[in-house]
Amino acid sequence: MGSDVQFLYTPPRGVGISTNGQNQKGRALDSATRTAVTRRLASAAGHVKGIERMVEEDTYCIDVIKQIQAVQAALNKVSALILDNHLRTCVTAAIQGDDAAEREAVLHEITSVFELTN
């Protein structure tokens, strides 16, 4: 299953590392967001396993599609939680900071993320 996955974008480098490679210490997910994201990801992973089982059991196609859509909605919520946290931490700090290049880089990151979804 995992070997067939192809990324349409470069996967993230990890929490706290910006796309320009600089360590963003103190700008990772806050604990409440991390807990909510972790819980939602675990739930989505369980649903994906359920979808896998449905396919193996030759479940009616529309039922499988509905479950896939539910997982996509859950992942969209995770994305929204992380984006909200990012806007309130990294983006706010960059905009309030004195480094114009960092401001531009953070704003470019935000717009490029949304370009991926269109």
pLDDT tier for residue 117 given thresholds of 50, 70 and 90: low
- In one-letter notation, the amino acid at residue 17 is I
58 dihedral zone (left: phi>0; alpha: psi -120 to 50; beta): left
Task: Of 8, 6, 5, give the one whose Cα is nearest residue 116.
Answer: 8
The pLDDT score that the predictor gives to residue 63 is 97
The pLDDT score that the predictor gives to residue 115 is 83
Tell me which residue range forms the domain holding 65: 29-116
Q: How far apart are CA 74 and CA 43, in angstroms?
A: 8
Look-up of token digits 């995992």: 2
Domain-embedded: residue 51? yes
Q: What is the pTM of this model?
A: 0.71
What does the pLDDT look like over 28-76, one tens digit per residue? 789 999 999 999 999 999 999 999 999 999 999 999 999 999 999 999 9
Domain-embedded: residue 14? no
Domain-embedded: residue 96? yes
Domain-embedded: residue 43? yes
Using CA atoms of 100, 89, 84, 42 in order, give the dihedral in degrees to the nearest 10. 130
The number of distinct structural domains making up the chain is 1
